[in-house]
């Protein structure tokens, strides 16, 4: 865990902050080691650490499966939540400021959890997703309740073009009075993608406006793909 913390601290956070303001997403390479990726995938079959399993097809979310972790979270996931959140809170608060929104987020992850508990959002939202050939995830947002932090992360546990083909991560940005923009990403094994949960500020001719963002996963052509989603706010159920 100390090595993970050191990798997080060594990130060029001013650069990541600039990319988040400019694009609404940023990729940080090699946050997880290959061993950590393999351990997360092995534990997919351990029912003791999960609170809920969701079959995507049953709910119209696509094809594939994901599982929500239960509290207490595995140490690696808790470390990511606690150490990454303070780097992202200033970005989120600047977004709220330029969009003239009332929301302000605490400096610490513990403070965010206090806000969630006050709204009865007590269920962990960290999840691991598993896709096989033909599986995909429809465009969506991970909001879960009235309290939601506007930035989240996903960590990639397989190597593209080696473990699987297809399965690109897709972001769409909706611009008022214009066609939506699609962004297609394929990070490497161990990489972390940071991206907006709901919207990002975009400067227009009359000031900043909210550009709505959704995310999903394109269809896998072959192989198997796992990702770890680390969402900072908790859920109602």
Q: What value does the mean pLDDT take over residues 185-190?
A: 98
Cα 147 to Cα 1: distance, rounded to the nearest angstrom: 29
Q: What value does the mean pLDDT take over residues 8-24?
A: 96
Lowest mean pLDDT among 7-21, 65-79, 168-182: 168-182
Q: Point out which residues pair with 68 in neighbouring strands.
A: 52, 127
pLDDT for position 175: 78
Q: Which CATH superfamily is domain 2-230 in?
A: q2cbj1_9rhob like domain (2.60.120.620)
pLDDT for position 162: 98
Report the mean per-residue pLDDT for the chain: 95
The answer to whether 167 touches 219, Cβ cutoff 8 Å, is yes
pLDDT for position 216: 97
Residue 1 reports pLDDT greater than 70: no
Over residues 100-157, the pLDDT tens digits come to 998 899 999 999 999 999 999 999 999 999 999 999 999 999 999 999 999 999 999 9
The answer to whether 197 touches 143, Cβ cutoff 8 Å, is yes
Cα–Cα separations (whole angstroms), residue 171 to 65, 105, 150, 227: 20, 24, 15, 16
Cα–Cα separations (whole angstroms), residue 77 to 30, 144, 218, 230: 15, 19, 25, 7
């Amino acid at each position: 865990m100390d090595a993970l913390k050191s990798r997080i601290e060594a990130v060029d956070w001013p650069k990541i902050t600039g990319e988040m303001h400019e694009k609404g997403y940023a990729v940080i390479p090699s946050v997880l080691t290959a061993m950590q990726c393999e351990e997360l995938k092995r534990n997919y079959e351990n029912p003791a650490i999960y609170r809920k399993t969701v079959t995507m097809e049953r709910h119209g979310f696509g094809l594939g499966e994901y599982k929500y972790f239960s509290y207490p979270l595995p140490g690696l996931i808790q470390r990511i939540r606690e150490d990454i959140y303070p780097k992202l809170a200033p970005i989120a608060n600047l977004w709220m400021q330029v969009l003239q929104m009332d929301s302000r987020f605490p400096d610490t992850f513990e403070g965010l959890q206090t806000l969630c508990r006050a709204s009865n959002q007590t269920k962990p939202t960290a999840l691991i997703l598993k896709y096989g050939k033909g599986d995909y995830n429809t465009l969506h947002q991970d909001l879960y309740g009235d309290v939601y932090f506007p930035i989240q992360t996903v960590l990639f546990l397989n190597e593209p073009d080696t473990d699987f083909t297809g399965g690109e991560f897709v972001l769409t940005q909706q611009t008022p009075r214009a066609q939506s923009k699609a962004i297609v990403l394929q990070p490497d094994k161990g990489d972390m993608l940071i991206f907006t949960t709901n919207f990002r500020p975009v400067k227009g001719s009359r000031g900043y406006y909210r550009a709505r963002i959704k995310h999903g996963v394109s269809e896998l052509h072959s192989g198997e793909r796992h990702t770890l989603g680390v969402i900072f706010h908790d859920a109602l159920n």
